[in-house]
Chains A and B, each alone.
Chain A
Amino acid sequence: MEPRYERNLPALTEEACQILRKKRVLVVGCGGLGGHIIDQLARIGVGFLRVVDGDVFEASNLNRQLLSSVPLLGISKAKTAADHIARVNPDVAVETAEAFLSESNAESLLENCDIVMDALDNIPSRRILAAACEKANIPYIYGAIQGWVAQAAISMPGDHLIDTLYPEEIEITDKSVLSFTPALCASMQVCLCVKLLTGLPVETGTISYFDLLNQEFEQITIV
């Protein structure tokens, strides 16, 4: 076992670590959730990451986005994510797509990936990504944040979690996110991803819901 992975043991078995080295993960979004997700997946030793974001860093990202910093304002989030992965763990192969997810590129972005991480910041894009995962028969690790609240879940093909959570009439006006909320949500998403990829028992059809303001945690049966 390489020294960089020693502290994965014995929480993960050597076999599980080797499995992770062979896995390919798509991360859609390199902002609040995506920065933490990419960092954690690279550190734990996932073999391949495809990171996607068409945006550049701006000042309003600095309160919460791990990969953002003042010198990087105006710089591509996806390219910054790739640079970060290379600094953290050069063993991880990276592909970068400096593009926003759309119906026209979703299928190609999912190609040859074992699992998809939702690090998006809006509902229409989540609908596109969830539909593409459904079509490609790939598990989708959902995460969403707002203010003090985070929620994360595994959506297996056939679960239709996004359709259930976001009916057409749903409306969100609050754009606030605090620094600790994406870190918590991303950690839960990466935890679910690692468990699923290594064959550890997972609970599907439920959402982990965290209200940090009221210090409440709920496991909600949804599917």
Chain B
Amino acid sequence: MIEVRVFATLRQGRDKVTMLPSEGITNAADILHLLHIPSEEVSILLINGFHQKPESPVKDGDIVALFPPVGGG
């Protein structure tokens, strides 16, 4: 399983933590697609605590964290 944690406004309509079967998932972009999250709505993408890109590989047992962009002041 892959544990996916979403933060702030990405929780609207989604659970805080989602466990996804790893079958068929090769990279973080696959997770965004499964959770219906457009890539432009993700600013920080962590895989096991390290910032990565959507095309970065994920595997069974990984923890993925997704944060939306924050840009005001």
| A interface list, Cβ under 8 A from B | 29, 31-34, 118-123, 126, 143-151, 164-166, 169-172, 174-175, 177, 182, 207, 209, 211, 213-214, 216, 218, 220-223
Contact = CB atoms under 8 A, between A and B. Distances in A.
Interface of B is mostly: mixed
Nearest to B42: A170
B13 interface: no
B46 interface: yes
Interface residue SS majority, chain A: mixed
Nearest to B16: A214
B8 A211 contact: yes
Contacts of B39: 169
A29 B73 contact: yes
B34 interface: no
B40 interface: yes
B26 interface: no
Given A32-B72, A209-B67, A222 B40 contact: no
Contacts of B72: 32, 121, 144-146, 172, 175, 177
B10 to A, nearest CB: 11
Given A221-B49, A222-B44, A222-B51, A34 B8 contact: no
Interface in B1-26: 7-9, 11
Given A29-B73, A33-B73, A221-B51, 18 more contacts: A118-B73, A121-B71, A121-B73, A144-B70, A144-B72, A146-B70, A147-B8, A149-B8, A150-B70, A151-B70, A166-B43, A169-B39, A170-B69, A171-B69, A177-B72, A182-B73, A216-B7, A221-B50
18 contacts: A120-B73, A122-B73, A164-B51, A165-B44, A166-B43, A166-B69, A170-B40, A172-B70, A175-B72, A182-B73, A209-B67, A213-B8, A214-B8, A220-B51, A220-B67, A222-B44, A222-B51, A223-B51
